Amino acid sequence: MTSDDRKKAAALAAVAYISSGMKLGLGTGSTAKHFVDAVGEKVKQGWDLVCVPTSEATRKQAESLGIRLTTLDETPVLDVTVDGADELDSELRLIKGGGGALLREKIVASSSRQMIVIADDSKKVATLGKYPLPVEVVPFGLKATGIKIDQALAWSGNKGPLIVRMRDGKPFVTDNGNVILDCALGHIHNPEKLAAALSSIPGVVEHGLFIGMASIAIIATENGVETLKK
């Protein structure tokens, strides 16, 4: 079973948690893409679903599948958000933002009664941090903000270089017009303390630590799908 097969298996397993009439948040990324495809199949079968996408890429995919979309202004409370993760630990703390959609992903997840994470088993780790932690920042004052992020890392017992995410030789720009600093920490000490410190910095729009948000993780392995609950 390939990595993509496992991602698809996790996505299909999440369909058991949704039903016609629900309001859904649709995640972003290679695993979430399989879930959006599955939602499209349910819509073709006649299910009544209305969804909020977490990125322009997901919006385009959902529209191509005939999924009815809404916004959080029109539908401010959702039933379930299903999304992937770049890393998750046994306490269902997550690192997200590898695809650059962390701000909208966090807003949508926090507007949902339940967040379900879908992933293949390579994303489950004993300690968060091997995957670089994304921090979305406004372009204005980028260097000054970076200094404050370094200070926040040190204060919370963490250390590692900050790298401006690039694409095609230019800084990657999010759907919200911001840039991302990837923090290569290797190991995150006290994720809660780091999350609070990052959130307090002017210029930081959002960070990729999702703590206390996911209640269920569906993880696909070579031997089948396992479910973790908080």
pTM of the complete model beyond 0.75 = yes
Q: Would you give per-residue pLDDT tens digits along the chain (230 residues)?
A: 899 999 999 999 999 999 999 999 999 999 999 999 999 999 999 999 999 999 999 999 999 999 999 999 999 999 999 999 999 999 999 999 999 999 999 999 999 999 999 999 999 999 999 999 999 999 999 999 999 999 999 999 999 999 999 999 999 999 999 999 999 999 999 999 999 999 999 999 999 999 999 999 999 999 999 999 98
Task: Report the distance separating Cα 15 and Cα 45, nearest Å.
Answer: 14
Cβ burial 33-59 (10 Å sphere, 16+ → b, else e): bbbbebbbebbeeeeebbbbbbbebbb
Which amino acid, one-letter code, is at 211? I
Q: List all residues 6 or more positions away from 77 whose beta carbon is below 8 Å from its beta carbon.
A: 23, 111, 112, 113
Task: Report the distance separating Cα 115 and Cα 108, nearest Å.
Answer: 9
* Pair of tokens at residue 120: 């293949």
pLDDT, residue 230, reads 84
Which amino acid, one-letter code, is at 100? G
Q: Residues 105, 136, 192, 222: which is the catalytic one?
A: 105
82: β partners:
26, 116
pLDDT, residue 198, reads 98
226 is annotated as an active-site residue: no
Angle at 212 between CA 222 and CA 106, to 5 degrees: 85
pLDDT, residue 1, reads 85
Alpha helix stretches (DSSP H) within 15-133? 30-44, 56-64, 102-110
Q: What domains lie within the chain, and their CATH numbers?
A: 3-124+212-229 (3.40.50.1360), 133-205 (3.30.70.260)
* Pair of tokens at residue 188: 């995150």
